[in-house]
Amino acid sequence: MSKILITGGAGFIGSAMARKLAEFPGDQIVIVDNLLTGRKENIPGSPFGNIRFIKGDVNDFNDISGVFFAEKFDYVFHYAAMVGVKRTLNNPVSVLKDIDGIKNILNLSKNTGVKRVYFSSSSEVYGEPFEIPQNESTTPLNSRLPYAIVKNVGEAYLRSYQQEFGLEYTIFRFFNTYGVNQSKDFVISKFLDAALNNRTLTIYGDGEQTRTFCYIDDNVDACERIFRQNEFVNDVVNIGSDVETPIIELAQRIVSATDAQSAIEHLPPLKEGDMTRRRPDNTKMKEILNRELIPLDQGIQTIIDSLKPAENVWN
């Protein structure tokens, strides 16, 4: 039986992970979230009553320290972060504040006997790519913007705490992940919201920039297996799909899947932060998942089916 903290667990990926981990009745899950972008409604109910929510800011030591000393966690999934391309570009100082949160989590984990910390890093640490596919150990990191730098610094902190204090870690480098309940800060939910309301879909630049899209079930299934099987201890693993799709093609597929009358409009390219290509070497993830990843069209259809036809709104 383990006691597990998920920071950011009222968000998209954290709440899905909480639901997955709570399937194990012996484990107790505690979610800490300040509801910056997360929502209380995201927090899953559990048939075993083993999920609890505490509102708190991980960047504020006073908020988070009491939780650690009272609960005595075995494992921590540190998923809380300021996210979203626009939000992070417009609020660089707040983004950098997340370094305080990483330090708080690691110090408190070290001082309260946490066995291992799982950290949601990002494909953004690779920056503009040096090579495709992007491999965990051979591809050089190229983080320039505050969001990517924070993830890079976070990775360095985890390695350093392991080296000096023996605190174990696993770093997940998440590539674009999508699914039901995602906020409109992310491209698929943004496009779906526009298409389902017959509004114009907007693309920065020519839309030839590619991304890979990982359905949320593949993300949480892989991460849960890594956790349960004690894989990739003190190691990094890319979590993402390896099928590249140009953004223009994504927009066209969503318009077609929703039978929308929406136009697709091109805006001037973003000045920074919109990488030309991104594709992980996901060999490690595939080995542990041991099944095919969910195809993009199937994932998009699952989201469309989950929305109430009568309302036809993203909520």
Would you please indicate which residues are annotated as catalytic (active-site) residues?
Answer: 147
Nearer to ligand NAD, 57 or 281 (CB): 57
Q: From 103-111, 130-138, 175-183, 306-314, give the range in contact with ligand NAD by CB under 6 A.
A: 175-183
Is 81 a binding residue for ligand NAD by CB under 6 A? The answer is yes
Site size with ligand NAD, rule: CB under 6 A: 30
CB of 74 to ligand NAD, least distance (A): 20
Residue of 14, 179, 207, 299 interacting with ligand NAD (CB under 6 A) = 14
Q: What is the 3-state secondary structure (H, E, C) of the chain?
A: CCEEEEECCCCHHHHHHHHHHCCCCCCEEEEEECCCCCCHHHCCCCCCCCEEEEECCCCCHHHHHHHHHHHCCCEEEECCCCCCHHHHHHCHHHHHHHHHHHHHHHHHHHHHCCCEEEEEEEHHHHCCCCCCCECCCCCCCCCCCHHHHHHHHHHHHHHHHHHHHCCEEEEEEECCEECCCCCCCCHHHHHHHHHHCCCCEEEECCCCCEEECEEHHHHHHHHHHHHHCCCCCCEEEEECCCCEEEHHHHHHHHHHHCCCCCCEEEECCCCCCCCCCCCECCHHHHHHHCCCCCCHHHHHHHHHHHCCCCCCCCC
CB of 259 to ligand NAD, least distance (A): 26
Is 221 a binding residue for ligand NAD by CB under 6 A? The answer is no
Residue of 28, 50, 107, 120 interacting with ligand NAD (CB under 6 A) = 120
Is 79 a binding residue for ligand NAD by CB under 6 A? The answer is yes
* Positions 272 through 301 that interact with ligand NAD (CB under 6 A): none
Binding mask 17-36 for ligand NAD (x = CB under 6 A): ---------------xxxxx
CB of 60 to ligand NAD, least distance (A): 8
Is 176 a binding residue for ligand NAD by CB under 6 A? The answer is yes
Nearer to ligand NAD, 122 or 134 (CB): 122
Is 104 a binding residue for ligand NAD by CB under 6 A? The answer is no
Is 59 a binding residue for ligand NAD by CB under 6 A? The answer is yes
Is 238 a binding residue for ligand NAD by CB under 6 A? The answer is no
Chain residues binding ligand NAD by CB under 6 A are: 7-8, 10-14, 32-38, 57-59, 79-83, 101, 120, 122, 174, 176-177, 183, 186
